[in-house]
Amino acid sequence: MSVPDFQSVMLPLLRYASLQGTDISTSSAVDALAKELLLTDDDLQQMLPSGTQPTFYNRVGWAATYMKKAGLLEATRRGFYRATEAGRSVVGSNPDRIDLRFLRKFPDFVSFQSLKGTRAKLEAALEEPSASTPLEALEQAYENLREELAEELLGKLKKATPAHFERIVVELLVKMGYGGSRSDAGRAIGRSGDGGIDGIIKEDRLGLDLLYVQAKRWDTNPVGRPDVMQFAGALQAHHATKGIFITTSRFTDEAKGYVAQIGSKIVLIDGPSLAELMIDHSVGVSTLANYAVHKIDSDYFEET
């Protein structure tokens, strides 16, 4: 089965905590619930969009957090919690499901819901049976904004003049650590035009190795196997083994298959990948706002 949403995890988690009769950790709950819910290794390896935490672990943690707010679970020590008398009573009543709507029966949860900035968010979540955790919602919103930005950025690249596109490629490669100085890279890119090679830049700032570059600012036509073969042939003619082929469109499956078969190391960067790299290295984009996500520093509250 797929990874259940955090509200669907609440009842199994509370049952598990009640049966243990002692304090439990989120890690132990994850192991036990994964077996109960028949989750596969692939399910458990699914990560949040940021890649910072397994999705199921995040959802179990948030399920525990909300049930603590309702008084069904209580923290016992750092990283551990247990079922309260109220929690065990809920399990004994054999409910079909515990979710945010169910938790509104408990005064402590209503008080939490009424906190400034919390009520509207929770009321919206109550209307969605498979609501994301707050962290998932934040990360998904970030991913959506990033996808929209990448799409807009790619549109700008396709409309750029060849000279402007060349300068963008230079700046990106320098930001990524290639090309030595920007002036070095600027002199190298676009100077060759020799047999499928648009430029030659330093792989590192010392110039211990060279990278051969081909860049095609195409709109919708894909880069096919013949274009990549020509580039690979140019690399061999120069006794080179490393190349970067950049396009604003895409590569055909045949082109990708050819690169996988040959000995030369050629990296293919298509339009979406190029836009993502530009965002990652702040090329052609500016920062609108930064939001820091904080968590409790438990060590700070430990008395020594």
The tens digit of pLDDT for each residue in 27-84 reads: 999 999 999 999 999 999 999 888 888 999 999 999 999 999 999 999 998 889 999 9
Percent of the chain clearing pLDDT 70 (strictly above): 84
The per-residue pLDDT for 186 is: 56
Could you state, in order of their start, the residue ranges of all structural domains in the chain?
Answer: 6-132, 160-280
Q: Is the pLDDT confidence value at 162 over 60?
A: yes
Element (H, E) at 224: none
Distance CA(262)–CA(16), nearest Å, equals: 54
The per-residue pLDDT for 298 is: 67
Q: What are phi and psi of 174, to 5 degrees?
A: -65, -45
The per-residue pLDDT for 202 is: 78
Greater pLDDT, 254 or 142:
254
Q: Is the pLDDT confidence value at 125 over 80?
A: no
The per-residue pLDDT for 269 is: 96
Alpha-carbon distances of 80 from 59, 64, 170, 296, rounded to whole Å = 16, 10, 52, 14
Distance CA(40)–CA(96), nearest Å, equals: 24
Greater pLDDT, 220 or 32:
32
Distance CA(49)–CA(141), nearest Å, equals: 10
Element (H, E) at 171: helix 162-175
Second CATH level (architecture) for the domain 160-280: 3-Layer(aba) Sandwich (3.40)
The per-residue pLDDT for 124 is: 60
Percent of the chain clearing pLDDT 90 (strictly above): 50
What pTM, to 2 d.p., does this model score? Answer: 0.68
Q: What is the pLDDT of residues 177-219, one digit of tens each?
A: 887 666 666 555 555 455 556 778 877 666 677 888 888 899 8
The distance of Cα 130 from the centroid of its chain, to the nearest Å, equals: 20
The CATH code that applies to domain 6-132 is: 1.10.10
Are 165 and 157 contacting, i.e. CB atoms less than 8 angstroms apart? yes
- Label residue 183 exposed, middle or buried (CB < 10 Å: 0-12, 13-18, 19+): exposed
Strand partners, 83: 73
What's the chain's average pLDDT?
85
Q: What are phi and psi of 211, to 5 degrees?
A: -115, 135
Q: Which of these, 90, 222, 248, lies nearest to 157 by C-alpha position?
A: 248
Are 73 and 17 contacting, i.e. CB atoms less than 8 angstroms apart? yes
Give buried/exposed letters for 167-178 (b at 16+ CB in 10 A, else e).
Answer: bbbbbbbbbeeb
The per-residue pLDDT for 82 is: 96
Q: Is the pLDDT confidence value at 129 over 80?
A: no
Distance CA(211)–CA(194), nearest Å, equals: 14
Greatest mean pLDDT range, 110-119, 190-199, 248-257: 248-257
Q: What is the pLDDT of residues 272-301, one digit of tens each?
A: 999 999 999 999 998 877 878 887 776 667
Mean predicted confidence (pLDDT) in 89-104? 95
